[in-house]
Chains A and B, each alone.
Chain A
Amino acid sequence: MRKKKNIFSKLPLNRYFDILMLIFLTAFPFFTKEFRVEMMGRYICYAIFAISLDLLWGYTGLLSLGHAVLFGMGGYMIGISYQIQNGVVPAFMQREGITEIPWFYLPLQNPIVASILGILIPALFAALIGYFVFTSKIKGVFFTIITLALAQIFKDFIINVQKYTNGFNGLQSIKRFSVNGSTPLTKTTYYYVVLVIAVLVFIFCLWLTNSRVGKICTSVRENEARLGFLGYNAGAFKILIYTISGALAGLSGVLYAPATSTITTEDIGVTASTMVVIWVAVGGRGNLTGAVFGALLINWAQSILSEHFSSAWQLIIGALLLVVIYFIPNGVIGQIVALQRRIITDRKKNKLMEETPKSKKMAVVK
């Protein structure tokens, strides 16, 4: 009995928070309208996206300002898949004079294959970029700049190859995973599918960050030079974590596009990449809970507030980011965890001070 209590008191506060959020999200469809459920499903996709950035930024200390590129790759894969079902050439391709589906789109006809590719291609892309950036001696800051440039260029690219991607207008009528013409999932079922995948991703990340690889990634953040002295190849671990993060971002994109049934260039550019950074910064980085909480909180706030302040929303976001950096640098959840840790250590110290006889007190203080 006593042992059990110990385990619970050791568990950080944010894990209780996770359980509370999970219970809330599971019960959510029972007491709201269907369109709210659809919205929440979208935000859970965003939460997976935020987790993928948290792995990269919170745990490994690599800030990416172009993470939406990987998200968009996943979304576009599944989006294209539903444009070319049953060998129909979509209208935007016919307008440009394409009468046959191009060969590189053929494997995407099957949505399952498209989803798998939507996870693999961002991962490979991340690995490639990671190889060039992380194996050189370049400063860490440059990764941020490269990813920012990437976000701008990728958006330009998608708009430019309008023949194949419908440019500015984006892709519409993406169905919720109807395979071979079967009826698509209902909104509520799809919500639970997304939720289950989100929980699996969360558990995977929890395992990953507590494993040896995760610990090494944390030490990349803390002191990369020393990690090198200990004989670890920091670059390889950075590439690995960027690849995993890319795969998860792609997965969130694959789930997101059917949830809204559209994907446009708005979802892949610099603005989208900034938003995910802000979710993680506000929620708190480096503890997974913060990413999920931040994504859900900011998006709800946006859906409620932007009705009143739609013109000034970006301004609010900028100011919010400044407030977080200067006043709560750990983010909301990070602050709570830090507070709890401090209380526990204080209590332990006090306990020891009370229990030990006077002569030993000095030793304890040391």
Chain B
Amino acid sequence: MGTFISQLINGLNQSSILLIATMGLVIIFGYMNVTNMAHGSMIMLGGVSAFILMEVLHLPFGIALIGCFIITGIIGMITEKLLIKRLYSKPTETILATYALSIILTELVRIKYPLSQNVHMPLPGAFHIGRVTIPYYNIFILVFSFAVLSLTLLFFRKTTFGKMLGSVTQNRTMTECLGIKTSTIDTLTFGYGAGLAGVSGCVLAPTTGVSYDMGSTYLTDTFMTNVVGGIQSFAGTAISSGIIGEGRTITAGFLNETWAKIIIFMIVIVLIRFRPEGLFTKERR
């Protein structure tokens, strides 16, 4: 029983990691409709900046979080300005261009850091309930991911910028007619999404270490989470990351990591066959 409970808690940890990693994708893929294959690399860049800020420059974790957000956000904005701006109406070309970008970013990091790097744990220690051990950092990730989720929701629902963004996704021409600079909104939104990816990379860095190829696994995981939850739905993404994270950890407990991936993948394919809109999106006509 104890092992099962610790499996559940591990699953919760996986889920919160998935949630925070997918959040940026909800904005970029869901709202802006850009299939950003460089999302994994953005997460990786966040991890690498966390490594540089915390281990090379010895800054505290809080500042590293903000630093990662700003660094990857700026890289995201540059990406949008240089590459994606010219491809908004061409989905296939967007996929290829962002994919090429992810290859380039991965290779650049590989040349600089060919080995996996460790980042020290900012919140060491754990508390024990019976035989179950919960590291403090896992609790921090859970709380932090929900904090980021609610902040992002507030940002989108309450601020002027969030409302502008909503109107751009609904009716671009009309928004432009109202005197809102849609291209600036696009750039800033992409930067925000990339920044969130960077933050998730920073949060991940102490648990898994930083390596140049950490992005590729997160890329497909986040896309799947996003599609299962409904691509524009933050709440759906939260629930689906819970389902996928828990499902994968529990299956991995019975079989192993690879079979868990395969089974979850098959379930996802069957799910989207019958619920292409995502599990938690209301049917819209």
Contact = CB atoms under 8 A, between A and B. Distances in A.
A129 B273 CA distance: 10
A142 B272 contact: yes
Interface in A238-290: 270, 274, 277, 281
Contacts of A322: 83, 97, 100-101, 104
A148 interface: yes
B114 to A, nearest CB: 9
A340 B94 CA distance: 28
Contacts of B99: 65, 274, 321
Contacts of A152: 216-217, 220
A173 interface: no
Contact of B93 (A160, A312, A329): A329
Interface string A148-183: 111011001101100000000000000000000000
A207 to B, nearest CB: 26
Given A136-B273, A274-B99, A319 B104 contact: yes
B96 A314 contact: no
A144 B259 contact: no
B265 A325 contact: no
B223 A325 contact: no
A321 B35 contact: no
B103 A144 contact: no
B95 A318 contact: no
Given A157-B258, A321-B96, A325-B97, A314 B103 contact: yes
Given A132-B273, A153-B262, A325-B96, A145 B227 contact: yes
Interface string B237-253: 00000000000000000
Given A152-B217, A311-B111, A274 B35 contact: no
A179 to B, nearest CB: 34
A137 interface: yes
Interface in B107-138: 107-108, 110-111
Contacts of B108: 315
A144 B95 CA distance: 9
Contacts of B100: 318-319, 321-322, 325
Interface string A93-125: 000000000000000000000000000000000
A142 B37 CA distance: 12
Contacts of A312: 107, 111
A160 B108 CA distance: 30
Interface residues of B, number: 41
A303 interface: no
A315 B276 contact: no
Nearest to A137: B276
B269 A156 contact: no
Contacts of A156: 258, 261-262
B92 interface: yes
Interface of A is mostly: helix
A317 interface: yes
B86 interface: yes
B250 to A, nearest CB: 18
B60 interface: no
Contacts of B92: 61, 63
Contacts of A319: 100, 104
A63 B95 contact: yes
A129 B96 contact: no
A132 B269 contact: yes
B97 to A, nearest CB: 5
Interface in B47-96: 83, 86-87, 91-93, 95-96
A326 interface: yes
A135 interface: yes
A136 B104 contact: no
Given A136-B272, A152-B216, A141 B91 contact: yes
A136 B274 contact: yes
B237 to A, nearest CB: 15
Given A138-B272, A152-B216, A144 B35 contact: yes
Contacts of B86: 326
Given A312-B107, A314-B103, A141 B95 contact: yes
A140 interface: yes
Nearest to A316: B107
Contact of A317 (B35, B37, B103): B103
B95 A146 contact: no
A133 B269 CA distance: 7
Interface string B32-48: 00010100000000000
A318 B101 CA distance: 7
Contacts of A329: 93
Contacts of B269: 129, 132-133, 146
A79 to B, nearest CB: 20
B219 interface: yes
A243 B88 CA distance: 31
Contact of B258 (A148, A149, A160): A160
Contacts of B147: none
B270 interface: yes
Contacts of A63: 92, 95-96
B224 interface: yes
A325 B93 contact: yes
Given A136-B272, A145-B224, 7 more contacts: A138-B227, A145-B220, A149-B265, A152-B220, A160-B258, A321-B96, A325-B97
Closest A-B pairs by Cβ, 4 of them: A318-B103, A321-B100, A318-B104, A149-B220
23 contacts: A136-B273, A137-B277, A140-B91, A141-B91, A141-B95, A146-B269, A149-B220, A152-B217, A153-B262, A153-B265, A274-B99, A311-B111, A312-B111, A314-B107, A315-B107, A322-B97, A322-B101, A322-B104, A325-B93, A325-B96, A325-B97, A325-B100, A326-B97
Interface of B: 35, 37, 83, 86-87, 91-93, 95-97, 99-101, 103-104, 106-108, 110-111, 216-217, 219-220, 223-224, 227, 256, 258-259, 261-262, 265, 269-270, 272-274, 276-277
